[in-house]
């Protein structure tokens, strides 16, 4: 009896988490997949089976929206990495005082003290036609008229996303760098390696799992983003997330569900590609 209880106990302990996982993740995804095959007669959903929703996903307009979303993903990922790696490197290897290191790392979390919408709105008086940057350019005679592409453009969308998600890249990269054995760097220096060689042959390979984790965070967040696209794009930019929001607003739930399924599959492929390149199991 005791051996039976010991054998069943691990399964009982995992049961609550499994039920939560099934109820709040698997079941909603299955429902979205089911609705994606239903019909829409102009004002309500009709249970049934049709592939027309998926056919609409692969129209020219939808494909351009997906390509535009991929463009955001690549640009935001690149700039987040370009900012996060030097910041993490500075904190991990150039700040020796642990308290100061923690304080500077916490400063990176300051943007998270306010909501995403507030952070986006805060860029309007900076990037607008009468904002700080345009006022400075006009006063210095660097521009004859306000620069319009600073706000309500793809530039503004990418800037807003980098502002929002940069910390998701900094945190895992910083964590990976802090785990690097400093004796490896000392040994490389004793062998006559230059700073660039140490960065290339020691630090970068050992930081790869953190870069992969940060990339997964950034890619998945940007793929489903719609608030930043709406606020910073001003209706001039498009993404799959915004497309789904528009379809939900017009009660086209089956079509929105089909786009959601395709978006989920594409995102999973991107994540799987990252995991194929870098093994992150040692980092978890």
- Report whether pLDDT(111) > 80: no
Average pLDDT score over residue span 140-154: 85
Q: What is the structure's pLDDT at 261?
A: 94
Whose structure tokens read 């870098």? 278
| Structural tokens at position 143 | 């521009």
For the chain, what percentages of helix, strand and coil (3-state, to nearest 5) are there? 75, 0, 25
Residue 142 counted as domain residue: no
Stronger pLDDT, 79 or 15, i.e. the higher one: 79
Per-residue model confidence (pLDDT) at position 73: 95
Q: Is the pLDDT of residue 283 over 60?
A: no
Cβ contacts of residue 271 below 8 Å, gap of 6+?
A: 216, 219, 220
Domain presence at residue 56:
yes
Q: What pLDDT does 142 receive?
A: 82
For the cut 70, the answer to whether the pLDDT of residue 254 exceeds it is yes
DSSP state of 40: E
Q: Which pair of tokens denotes residue 237?
A: 């930019």
Mean pLDDT, rounded, of the chain? 87
CB atoms within 10 A of CB 91: 21
Residue 250 confidence class, pLDDT cut points 50, 70, 90: confident
Contact 217, 168 (CB under 8 A): yes
Q: Per the domain annotation, does 52 fall within a domain?
A: yes
pLDDT attached to residue 157: 93
**pLDDT of res. 1:** 55
Q: Give the count of domains, the chain.
A: 1
Residue-level pLDDT at 276: 86
Residues 91, 22: Cα–Cα separation, whole Å = 40
What is the pLDDT at residue 21? 85
Note down the domain range covering 181: 26-110+149-277
Buried b (16+ CB within 10 A) or exposed e, 17-28: eeeeeeeeeeee
- pLDDT band (50, 70, 90) for residue 282: low
Between 42-46, 49-53, 63-67, 214-218, the lowest mean confidence (pLDDT) is in: 42-46
Percent of the chain with pLDDT over 70: 96
- Start-to-end CA distance of the chain, whole Å, equals 36
Helix (H) or strand (E) holding 38: none
Query: In this model, does residue 90 exceed pLDDT 60?
Result: yes
* pLDDT of 60 strictly over 60: yes
Q: Is residue 18 part of a domain?
A: no
Residue at 51 is within a domain: yes
Q: What is the rounded distance in angstroms from the CA atom of residue 157 to the CA atom of residue 72? A: 8
Angle at 260 between CA 255 and CA 266, to 5 degrees: 130
What is the per-residue pLDDT for 6?
66
Largest CA distance in the chain: 86
Q: Which residues of 130-141 are buried (b: 16+ CB within 10 A; e: fewer)?
A: ebebbeebeeee
Q: Read off the CATH number of the domain in which 184 is found.
A: 1.10.3720.10
For residue 19, being part of any structural domain is answered with no
Q: Which residue has the higher pLDDT, 223 or 12?
A: 223
The reply to whether 16 falls in a domain is no
Question: Is 121 within the bounds of a domain?
Answer: no
The string of pLDDT tens digits covering residues 203-228 is 998 899 999 999 999 999 999 888 88
**Alpha-carbon span 164 to 221, nearest angstrom:** 10
Is the pLDDT at 199 greater than 90? The verdict is no
pLDDT at 78: 96
pLDDT score at 72: 95
Neighbours of 189 (CB within 10 A): 14
Output 251-256 pairs: Cβ under 8 A, ≥24 positions apart: 251/40, 251/43, 251/44, 252/40, 253/35, 253/38, 253/40, 253/45, 254/35, 254/36, 254/37, 254/38, 254/39, 254/40, 254/45, 254/53, 255/40, 255/53, 255/56, 255/57
Residue with tokens 């993490």, as numbered in its chain: 88
CA neighbor of 210 nearest in space, from 179, 176, 181, 178 = 176
């Amino acid at each position: 009896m005791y051996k039976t209880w010991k054998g069943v106990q691990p399964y009982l302990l995992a049961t609550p988490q499994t039920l939560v996982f099934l109820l709040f993740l698997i079941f909603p995804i299955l429902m979205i997949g089911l609705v994606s095959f239903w019909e829409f007669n102009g004002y309500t959903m009709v249970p049934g089976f049709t592939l027309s929703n998926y056919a609409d996903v692969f129209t020219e307009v939808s494909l351009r929206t997906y390509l535009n979303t991929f463009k955001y993903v690549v640009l935001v990922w690149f700039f987040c990495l370009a900012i996060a790696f030097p910041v993490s490197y500075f904190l991990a290897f150039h700040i020796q005082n642990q308290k100061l290191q923690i304080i500077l790392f916490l400063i990176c979390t300051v943007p998270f003290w306010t909501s995403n919408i507030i952070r986006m709105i805060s860029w309007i008086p900076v990037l607008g036609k009468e904002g700080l940057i345009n006022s400075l350019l006009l006063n210095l005679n660097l521009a004859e008229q306000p620069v319009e592409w600073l706000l309500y453009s793809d530039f503004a969308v990418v800037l807003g996303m980098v502002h929002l998600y940069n910390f998701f890249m900094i945190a895992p990269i910083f964590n990976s760098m802090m785990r690097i054995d400093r004796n490896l760097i000392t040994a490389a220096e004793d062998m006559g390696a230059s700073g660039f060689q140490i960065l290339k042959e020691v630090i970068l390979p050992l930081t790869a799992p953190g870069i992969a984790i940060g990339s997964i965070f950034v890619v998945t967040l940007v793929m489903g983003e719609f608030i930043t696209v709406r606020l910073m794009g001003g209706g001039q930019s498009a993404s799959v997330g915004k497309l789904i929001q528009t379809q939900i607003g017009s009660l086209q739930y089956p079509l929105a569900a089909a786009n959601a399924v395709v978006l989920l599959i594409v995102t999973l492929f991107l994540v799987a590609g990252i995991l194929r390149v870098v093994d992150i199991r040692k980092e978890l």
